[in-house]
Amino acid sequence: MDVYWLEQTEADVPPDDDWLSASEMACLNAMRFPKRRSDWRLGRWTAKYAMSAFLNVPNDNQVLAKIEIRPATSGAPEVFIANRPAGASISLSHRSGTALCAIADPGPALGCDLELVEPRSEAFIADYFTAEERAFVTKASAVDQSTLVTLLWSAKESALKVLHEGLRLDTRTLAVSLPEPIPFSAQNDSHEESLDAAVQFQSDVWRPLRVGCANGPTFHGWWRRMGELMRTVVAAAPAAPPASLHQPHSRVSG
């Protein structure tokens, strides 16, 4: 399974709206609050721009206006081109003026999440994490805990999108594991696990993760932190590391 990803920021979104379809314009005009409108436009722009790259079609406004992102009955986004299914699975997430879109060929479900790395309370960890995850967090130094907690939480959010459940499902029924050991910062006692936190978590590569569902399947995914944002992508089938849609790829437009 090949997964592709693309990010855009609010600064990338055009000031006009002629890249939206008529039905999308009607949806936008029904939104009252500027923040909601801004987030919605950012998500739609990112998804359309990503789809144009995924399909190797021009990203001019006339083409983008024919690409529509519609919510399924579950709330998950679906892509249509000229009112026909686009033949792709996508997932969207946005945070702090940045949007992430993950795309794959239709088939196994896909989920992505974008989270701001920030401290979270002990009550949050107790409410949403399994006993094993809580024990894992306690091994990390204070400087690493915010990143680790954000990573675990983001992986759960991505898996919930794969399941089309959202937070209706108890997140403690999802267990996140990291196949590759994470070296903790030098504040820990173990010399063998010491590494500067900036080197540890700031990386140009995607690292693997797994999310096991209680009495259910195990999902495969990837995580990456750059700057203050954590990204996770989870799929219902094993996948290669996500490939950037900013780079040439091997798909051929149909």
Find out whether 48 and 67 touch, Cβ atoms under 8 Å.
yes
Spatial contact of 128 and 153, defined as CB atoms under 8 Å apart: yes
Give domain 3-107's CATH number out of 1.25.40.10, 3.90.470.20, 3.40.50.2300, 3.30.950.10. 3.90.470.20
CB 28 within 8 A of CB 37: yes
**What's the pTM value of the predicted model, to 2 decimals?**
0.87
34-43, 82-91, 185-194: least confident range? 185-194
CA angle 71, 2, 112 (to 5 degrees): 40
State residue 174 phi and psi, 5-degree precision: -115, 125
Q: How far is CA 76 from CA 70, 86, 105, 164, in A?
A: 8, 15, 16, 7
Where does 9-130 have alpha helices with state H?
A: 22-29, 34-54, 61-66, 122-128
Whether pLDDT at 10 is above 90 = yes
Q: Which two tokens stand for residue 143?
A: 């400087």
What mean pLDDT value characterizes the chain? 87
* CA-to-CA separations, 176 to 2, 10, 91, 147, 154, in angstroms, rounded: 22, 31, 19, 14, 10
- CATH number at 113-235: 3.90.470.20
Judged against a pLDDT cut of 60, whether residue 194 lies above it is answered with no
For the record, the structure tokens of 199 come out as 């080197």
Give residue limits of the domains in the chain: 3-107, 113-235
At 203, the pLDDT band (50, 70, 90 cuts) reads: low
Mean pLDDT, rounded, for 164-183: 84
End-to-end CA distance of the chain: 19
Give the per-residue pLDDT at 142: 79
The beta-carbon contacts of 117-125 under 8 Å, at least 24 apart in sequence, are: 117/146, 117/147, 117/150, 117/225, 117/228, 117/229, 117/230, 118/146, 118/150, 118/228, 119/145, 119/146, 120/146, 120/149, 120/150, 120/153, 124/149, 125/149
Q: What is the pLDDT of residues 75-133, one digit of tens each?
A: 889 999 999 999 899 999 999 999 999 999 988 899 999 999 999 999 999 999 999 99
